[in-house]
Chains A and B, each alone.
Chain A
């Protein structure tokens, strides 16, 4: 526990000094929220819908920081530590790979939760947002999204041969997911063909869960996303631990 606490404290400080996660996971979702709030305000999401555009988007906005931390932050930091031979130094100490990975996962979870809190407060205080769904359901879905997106990041960080390739893979995952999964550009405004393509992305499924939970919509059609996301998480975590490389 002493090792975990000290490493968490140190790595959190280093991450904050790096600034990039502050920008991508904290500022960026807020900027998108403020833009949507100003443009659409409290307009209904679609004609006759009994929830506002902002209410509809809230679940998606919460996933931006998860996406930034999970598929950008996490794989880049792990592959960077491998490239710089920091993991090699850890290898000749009693520390376990699980501890190293857990510390990073906790750090990006903290960023995500902080972003969630800021988004909620900003939306509620400045744009009259009301959360009409079920918090427990939302929390469950949120955890599942974190688990599956972070596990993809762990896998990329774990098996990418070097930080350059990790960077390329991270960008290939991050930008399409950010744009096409509904995290920034609302899923509802996309043409049907694009929606079909977007459905393949795990984050699209995650956002569907978050959206339903935050709006209090029935969860009956959530079975497929739930199964898909749990499956992704299980496979990716398995691979990242089985194939963890110190060098």
Chain B
């Protein structure tokens, strides 16, 4: 299988704190990969090092066979990103934000179609600031898909979404994956991870504590369910 994301021994420290400590991972084309861990475990740092918005202290990163910091402009024609925290211009409408985003790419998908699929097709004239948290979250997922990317990064995919909206997002992503989209996501919801992810990597204090499929994660733990297994992998030692 073609590897679209390849990370080897990625390390990044902030002062004395090692945010990512020897992380390695591989994502194949059409795969959904989940990067898991508690808050502060190093998920966002790892994602940002892969994207080149942060420079790793050591280790190598290849995204679609390219180095993100050297090939920024070329690479981001084919890669979509939804950051956990993101901003938008004051007093900008949904349509304007979508149009401006689409204009940055040589080829861009149809944003009205995307908005419709994420259930916010009727919001194009609204100010982004007037959207609810869940609507805004869906808007930014839609924005990351506007370039019709080969790989998409979704940081905290469905935080703030209600049950119905989460199901809709899952369905949409599953559909895109069928067409060959590769996805790297971070999430705090284990039902979501179980539904979507082919492979996962669990981080704890920047180190990989588990890497493999969901079944393997449950199998290698003394637990029955994936959520229990996840908690078992990430729990703090009592001593």
Contact = CB atoms under 8 A, between A and B. Distances in A.
A91 B83 CA distance: 11
A86 interface: yes
Contacts of A7: 100, 103-104
B73 A94 contact: yes
A219 interface: no
Given A10-B96, A92-B79, A93-B76, A2 B85 contact: no
B79 A5 contact: no
A96 B77 CA distance: 12
Given A14-B92, A93-B101, A85 B73 contact: no
A83 B86 CA distance: 10
B65 to A, nearest CB: 17
Contact of A84 (B74, B77, B88, B103): B88
Contacts of A90: 104
Given A13-B96, A89-B83, A96-B73, A81 B89 contact: yes
A95 interface: yes
Contacts of B106: 94
Interface in A145-199: none
A18 interface: yes
Given A10-B99, A246-B53, A247-B53, A93 B104 contact: yes
B105 interface: yes
Given A6-B100, A10-B92, A94-B104, A84 B87 contact: yes
Interface string B14-33: 00000000000000000000
B178 interface: no
Interface string B68-93: 00001110110101010111111110
Given A10-B92, A13-B96, A92-B79, A3 B103 contact: yes
Interface in A1-46: 2-3, 5-7, 10-11, 13-14, 17-18
A199 B106 CA distance: 49
- Give the contact-size bracket for chain A: 20 to 34
B88 A92 contact: no
Interface string B123-137: 000000000000000
B51 interface: yes
B76 A92 contact: yes
A242 interface: no
Contacts of B53: 88, 91-92, 246-247
A85 B84 CA distance: 11
Given A18-B91, A246-B53, A89 B86 contact: yes
Interface string B44-64: 000000010100000000000
Given A7-B104, A18-B90, 6 more contacts: A10-B92, A10-B100, A13-B96, A14-B91, A88-B53, A89-B86
Interface of A: 2-3, 5-7, 10-11, 13-14, 17-18, 81, 83-86, 88-96, 246-247
20 contacts: A2-B103, A7-B100, A10-B89, A10-B92, A14-B91, A18-B91, A84-B88, A85-B87, A86-B87, A86-B88, A88-B83, A88-B87, A89-B81, A89-B86, A89-B87, A92-B51, A92-B53, A92-B79, A93-B101, A94-B105
Interface of B: 51, 53, 72-74, 76-77, 79, 81, 83, 85-92, 96, 99-106, 147
Interface pairs A-B: 7 shortest CB-CB: A84-B87, A6-B103, A92-B81, A85-B87, A17-B91, A94-B73, A86-B87
